[in-house]
Amino acid sequence: MNNSSIVGISVPRKEGQDKVTGRAQYIDDIVLPGMWYGATVRSTIPRGRIKQITFGAEVAWDDYVIVSAKDIPGKNCIALIAEDQPCLAENCINHPEEPILLLAHADRHALAKAVNAISIEYDPSPAVLTLEESERCCDIIWGSDNTFKTYVIQKGDIDSAWAKAAYIVEGEYRTGAQEQLYIENNGMIAWFDPEHGITVWGSLQCPYYVHKALMTLCQLPAERVRVVQVETGGAFGGKEDYPSMIAGHAALLAIKTRKAVKIIYDRLEDMAATSKRHPSRTRHRTAVSKDGKILGGTIDFTIDGGAYTTLSPVVLSRGAIHAGGPYYWPSVRITAKALATNAPPHGAFRGFGAPQSLFAMERHMDRIAQIIGASPIVVRQRNFLKPGQTTITEQAVREPIDLEKLLDRALELSSYQSRKESFAEENESGEIKKGIGVAAFLHGAGFTGSGERYLGSVVGVEACADGAVRVLVSSTEFGQGTKTALSQVAAETLGLGYEDVDVAPADTMEVPNSGPTVASRTVMVVGSLVCSAALGIRHALRQSGWLGDSYSPEEFRAACRNYVAAHGALRSWSRYEAPPDIFWDDEKHRGEAYAAFAWAVYIASVRVDLTTYTVSVDDFVALQEVGRVLHPVLAAGQITGGVAQGIGLSLYEKVIWQNGRMQNSQMTNYIMPTSLDVPPIRVFFEELGNVHGAFGAKGIGELPIDGPAPAIANAVADALGAPCDCVPLLAEDIFDILTTRVATADRSGSPSR
Amino acid sequence: MRSNPRDYQLVAPGTLHAVLSLLAEAPGKWLPIAGGTDLMVLYGAGKLAARNLVSIWSLPELRGIEVLPDQVRIGAGCTYAELREHPVIAREFPLLARAASWTGGTANQNRGTIGGNIVNASPAADSLPALLVYEAELILVSVRGERRVPYLGFHTGYKTTQLAGDELLRAVCLARQFSECLHHTRKVGARSAQAIAKVAIAALGGVAGGRVQEVRIALASVAPVPLRLFETERAVKGKSIDKCLLAAARRATVSEIRPIDDIRSTARYRSAVSSNLVEEFLRRLSAGAPI
Amino acid sequence: MSNSHEISGRREFCFTVNGERKTVPAYPMERLLDVLRHQLRLTGTKEGCGEGECGSCAVLMDGILVNSCLVPLLQAQNANILTIEGLAGAGLHNLQQAFLHCGGTQCGICTPGMILAALYLLKKNPFPTIEDIREGLSGSLCRCTGYMQIFEAVEEAARRQTSDEV
């Protein structure tokens, strides 16, 4: 057997050559013979009824194919969790940019003018545009009380906590909507023929989500729907649910035109119409002992789901479970709600609710520190979860995590103490105020609770006629390195070279459902299944006598070739099975929420310029424990990328809403960080090992977006000596904080007795 | 892409004379396009109203920076990249060189032109406060001949100018008389690169005998046009810079700007930052610090 | 109806792309980006924003870095264009290797424009400081990497390029 390790080595990215040479084919690069182009006609109001649709006389409509809700063969919905979101609005409009009609034409240039030539008259109704309006229930826009989902997580006896408290600390924290801003806009191509059914190719994360949605929409059996992911130019959760909508639209046009139809969004449409990170409001009320120990508290976590359910219940769940941070709560009651507003539905974005609730938790820790007169470091140290203690869902911490040690190392790496001292001195004069802030946090890897059991993911590994090994998964590559990491896992498992293994295209005709590529689950959950499926191949080769007990990679390839020549295809399947000792009560959100957590401490150093009220991040230390690092370059790239997005969330990226509609849907006015806006992002790993994932790896993808916003807001608050409880913190927000600070200072904390 | 190329006409006559003749045939019909960094954005978004365009990109008569003994003459087709790299501009007109380096990224600096920046007439344009401070003169040309107009006053309102329908901006002239002055500039954008100014300042001045001898201040994005702060200059000129004067300068600044709330910022913020920037300039002037 | 607006017919445009002379029938206001992608099927040049903000469509035109979404075809008449497809010779270009090695490409959609921006930077400034690199690439947006590994790649390419020349 080949003893040289592949796991832990930065092997070349599988599809890397194609990407650096421009050969990689993304959806807009693909042209099918006779292909037409599709476009979407959307609502311009947040809520109301369609009165009349007029087709302007300046367009030769006979040259177009037009699809409305009446053309839908199956159910008019995007099947996901609930079935409340129509694929095309028929009468009722529930948000701006809601799809109403579809157009197709042979000439892509002929579409924009036609979309503009359609005028829609509405009977508008009052719209619900904020969480507070939704809560008041003056207008009911969803269900009986505008609430998609409520969770209550209860642990211990809170009443006695209030009684024992030396301080009761309250705070309210908010985060804004954030656009994923993958640089490749959404796009799909669909093709239909009565015999084969519908095929779509597209930029997407979850082939089987799209598959399910198309079966319902087109009323087709599973075998007559085929979904193929092509090279995908970034996703970050933004291509988890909305691609089902676009695939549905392309499919409807393909069915009616009997041609291949391509729909590519431009940036304006992609930003305005597709999902964003849920805006949130978190209220903390915490009982704290004299020496800074958390005794208990309540956390009200509320998110704005937009107009339809989409993924909001799941985002809410993850946000709620992370709301207590990496701390021990003897008692707590978390009330989590996802509310409806007349905005386009908010959806998945890296972190999935956790960045919102962790922002609140980590800002609140600094508030507790301020109110009890301790340092933010000490307050965290006093409350860190320790092995053997239980989380807010009463999950026992089994990993040997030492958060105090992690914090100490991060403090050292960031020169925390010496910076703190020199900043205090420097801040005494001048217009530049410097600050340093800490965030400690955790992120659960994989689906929550019983989620993985319900998914029942299946992975295949195939021995090919040429001797190579192929991994068969619906887990998709969109920049994170799925193909590379899963190839490493299979190669390491089998003692093969990295080049002996490849990953099959994510095509539902070819690969089983290994679950969606979300929730930091790919390497940990799918990777483990790849290991066992790969072992199944080896077992079969040995059983059949083609492979000995020890072998070289060349002998293994020969065994594959011989086996396939003699017996035909060799595939080995592995299905997820939940460990037997796992308990999870979904109703009460109690028990083993995650198979593993990743842990981290991030520290940001910032400067605020009081001439312009702008903040810049000077240094960023990201220290995390993510189990075994399978690929150092890819892992570091996940962290730096997540931190940069987190810097965007903290300081730059603000969606400006008017009547439920995004006003700044361009890259020139929705501001993401450029190469001049990121500090040196210094990445460090601790490796404790973990029994759950492939070769001890845990999830890594989402973790890095949880920490930057609280670390940066804490640093800005440190610099200004004023609370910064909402992100993003644009210069205008800093200006508002400073000019209204007298009115709001210290309104929130009071000694209770 | 929200426009249909077949709906648009674009011609490139190749010489200044031919372009001017075309403009003269039907004044107002043809819209000149240079590097396209403004117009092609509108075109892509389906918002370019003009259907007939005449390319002036690389017209030889509009290129180049001519250094004369008493002035520098910058061709309207000069790109930001050329401006920021030119040694005389960098040395004697640093406000302009800095502004050029702040406009877009490298690719847009390679295509965007100073003439385009002036004629596009955005109140947020990066190079315009510098031109106000240097009291640039513009050379406008048509088949009727050339005329020189002061840049100050060229912008008559939001996105409107003195340019006649048959005229082209040919060059920008700067008098070489500021080498003794302190030059100060700062742009406040939403990020460090590729940002449109929320507020920007360009200023120059000199102090002699403890008193402000020369002072010129201009701001972007605080009025429908790039604004020269004459009131503030008057409040400062001939006086010594102390706390009292700084307060007076701040008051004058706030009284003569007309900032608005828009998608990029708020009037309140712009107003506060404008006076901060003016104060910062005056403090540096007082300290004798260069930019 | 649309014929009433049809004021400028298609005609032939000539230019050189990646060393090959090309003649394409097109309208003069077609974007260079679209002509490269649709007519010439050089799809390595990407569209990210269509307004010159993201740099994904960057190409070199007569040696100058430009955003091809903002170039009307007429202005590329007789020009010499280099796209990502023309960069590699027998093997990968130095920059392509460095991007691969350092993790400078993740989803890959910004990569062609980013590599061409880096190429232009190194051409003008073979010994860039980290600040030069940050500024030189500030017109190319990347959402995946947080830029760190891109900076490393450009530094590595610069080192290799200078050591090759020595």
Domain boundaries, chain A: 36-125+199-264, 280-448+587-751, 451-575
Residues of C in Cβ contact (< 8 Å) with A179:
none
- In this prediction, residue A746 carries a pLDDT of 42
What's the CA gap between A80 and A315, in Å, rounded? 14
**Beta-carbon separation of B195 and A671 below 8 A:** yes
- In this prediction, residue C166 carries a pLDDT of 44
End residue of a domain, out of B125, B157, B175: B175
**Beta-carbon separation of B273 and A613 below 8 A:** yes
Is B105 at the interface with chain C, CB within 8 A?
A: yes
* CB contact residues (below 8 A), chain A span 642-701, against chain C: 642-645, 666-668, 672, 674-676, 678, 680-681, 683
* Local structure of residue B264 (DSSP, 8 states): S
Number of CB atoms found within 10 A of residue A655's CB:
20
Number of CB atoms found within 10 A of residue A703's CB:
30
The two structure tokens encoding residue B158: 């939001």
**Closest chain A residue to the Cα of B277, Cα to Cα:** A611
* CB contact residues (below 8 A), chain C span 5-24, against chain B: 5-8, 10
Pair (B92, B150) in one structural domain: yes
Instruction: Write the residue in B45, B192, B265 that is nearest to A732 by C-beta.
Output: B265
Q: What ipTM does this complex have?
A: 0.96
Q: Residue B238's domain spans which residues?
A: 185-287
What's the CA gap between C166 and C158, in Å, rounded? 12
Please say whether the beta carbons of B271 and B257 come within 8 A. Answer: yes
Nearest CA among A436, A365, A422, A407 for reference residue A718: A436
Spell out the alpha helix ranges (H) of A373-447: 376-383, 403-413, 416-426
Is A109 at the interface with chain C, CB within 8 A?
A: no
Residues of A in Cβ contact (< 8 Å) with B191:
652, 671, 673-674, 676-677
Choose between B179 and B265: higher pLDDT.
B265
pLDDT higher than 70, residue B265: yes
Is A112 at the interface with chain C, CB within 8 A?
A: no
- Compute the nearest-CA separation of A85 from chain C (Å): 28
Please say whether the beta carbons of B21 and B64 come within 8 A. Answer: no
Instruction: Write the residue in A235, A633, A678 that is nearest to C103 by C-beta.
Output: A633
Pair (B144, B70) in one structural domain: yes
Is C69 at the interface with chain B, CB within 8 A?
A: yes
Residues of C in Cβ contact (< 8 Å) with A640:
145-149
Pair (B70, B171) in one structural domain: yes
Please say whether the beta carbons of A231 and A250 come within 8 A. Answer: no
Tell me the angle at which helices A527-543 and A482-494 cross, rounded to the nearest 10 degrees: 40
Pair (B140, B211) in one structural domain: no
Please say whether the beta carbons of B175 and B196 come within 8 A. Answer: no
B interface test, pick of A609, A611, A662 with most B CB neighbours within 10 Å = A611
Sheet strands side by side (includes C64-67)? C20-26, C11-17, C80-82, C58-61, C64-67
Helix/strand/coil for A593? coil
- In this prediction, residue A743 carries a pLDDT of 45
CATH number of the structural domain spanning residue B159: 3.30.465.10
Residues of B in Cβ contact (< 8 Å) with A656:
263
Which CATH number does A451-575 carry?
3.30.365.10
How many domains in chain B? 3
Q: What percent of chain B lies above the pLDDT cut of 70?
A: 99
Please say whether the beta carbons of A717 and A362 come within 8 A. Answer: no
What is the enclosing helix (H) or strand (E) of A541?
helix A527-543
What's the CA gap between B236 and B282, in Å, rounded? 9
Q: What is the DSSP string of A657-682?
A: EETTEES--STTTS----TTT---EE
Pair (B49, B64) in one structural domain: no
Q: What angle do CA A555, A560, A562 make, to 5 degrees?
A: 90
Pair (B71, B135) in one structural domain: yes
Pair (B50, B93) in one structural domain: no
Residue B12 lies in a domain: yes
CATH class (in words) of the domain with range A36-125+199-264:
alpha beta
- In this prediction, residue B288 carries a pLDDT of 77
The two structure tokens encoding residue A34: 């006779």
Length of chain A, in residues: 753
Residue B41 lies in a domain: yes
What's the CA gap between A495 and A434, in Å, rounded? 52
Q: How would residue C161 be classed by pLDDT, with cut points 50, 70 and 90?
A: confident
What is the enclosing helix (H) or strand (E) of B146?
strand B145-150
Residue B180 lies in a domain: no
Residues of chain A with pLDDT under 70: 1-4, 689-692, 741-753
**Beta-carbon separation of C50 and A676 below 8 A:** no
The two structure tokens encoding residue A50: 């369609």
Helix/strand/coil for A592? coil
Pair (B85, B24) in one structural domain: no
How many whole angstroms from its chain centre is CA A341? 21
Which CATH number does A280-448+587-751 carry?
3.30.365.10
- Which residues fall within 8 angstroms of residue A507, CB to CB, at 6 or more apart? A207, A226, A227, A228, A229
Number of CB atoms found within 10 A of residue B106's CB:
25
Pair (B192, B275) in one structural domain: yes
**Beta-carbon separation of A668 and C53 below 8 A:** yes
Mean pLDDT in residue range C81-89: 96
Please say whether the beta carbons of A625 and A688 come within 8 A. Answer: yes
- In this prediction, residue C99 carries a pLDDT of 98
Q: What is the DSSP string of A166-206?
A: SEEEEEEEEE-------SSPPEEEEEEETTTEEEEEES-S-
What's the CA gap between A617 and A715, in Å, rounded? 9
Number of CB atoms found within 10 A of residue A65's CB:
22
Residues of C in Cβ contact (< 8 Å) with B192:
138
Residues of A in Cβ contact (< 8 Å) with B192:
616, 674, 676-677
Nearest CA among A137, A230, A126 for reference residue A187: A230
Domains detected in chain C = 2-86 (3.10.20.30), 94-165 (1.10.150.120)
- In this prediction, residue A690 carries a pLDDT of 59
- Compute the nearest-CA separation of B182 from chain C (Å): 26
pLDDT higher than 50, residue C4: no
What's the CA gap between A662 and A449, in Å, rounded? 35
Instruction: Write the residue in C83, C115, C142 that is nearest to A20 by C-beta.
Output: C115
Rounded (to 5) percent helix, strand, coil in chain C: 40, 15, 40
Is C27 at the interface with chain B, CB within 8 A?
A: yes
Domains A36-125+199-264 and A280-448+587-751 share a fold: no
Nearest CA among B84, B100, B284, B289 for reference residue B200: B100
Please say whether the beta carbons of B103 and B112 come within 8 A. Answer: yes
- Cα diameter, chain A: 83
pLDDT higher than 90, residue B189: yes
Number of CB atoms found within 10 A of residue B11's CB:
16
Residues of C in Cβ contact (< 8 Å) with A180:
143
Pairing outcome for strands A469-472 and A501-503? parallel
